[in-house]
Structure 1
Amino acid sequence: MTATSYPVIRRNGGCGVETHRPFAATATALRRPLRAEGWYRRSSGRDICPDCWKAGRR
């Protein structure tokens, strides 16, 4: 058995959506490709998933 740790980005605000990349070593490396997938990051630091962004829950 092995234990691997990796950063996870969770939607701040209740919907429970999260994403990760198994080879990303830092949260910064993880966030780079998320914009292309529809994830947003507010200036306040909140991460918003694509579904919530489309639904207007910002």
Structure 2
Amino acid sequence: MLLPYLSHGTGGKRYVLIDRLKYYGYTEDPLGKRTEEMTLPELEQTFINLEYKRETAWKT
């Protein structure tokens, strides 16, 4: 069956993003939602936003 493999893959990506965000010191959003409670799209968008802020901080 392919379905369990796919769900494991996206779950793995979630945990990778959670670990990366924790490395940057991000554990919850401004409203208090913890990274472990976020969906994969929320984690991806948060990571993209954080990376953008870090890049622009280096340029200024």
TM-score under structure 1 length normalisation: 0.29
Q: Radius of gyration: which is bigger?
A: 2
* Bigger fraction of residues in strand: 1
TM-score under structure 2 length normalisation: 0.29
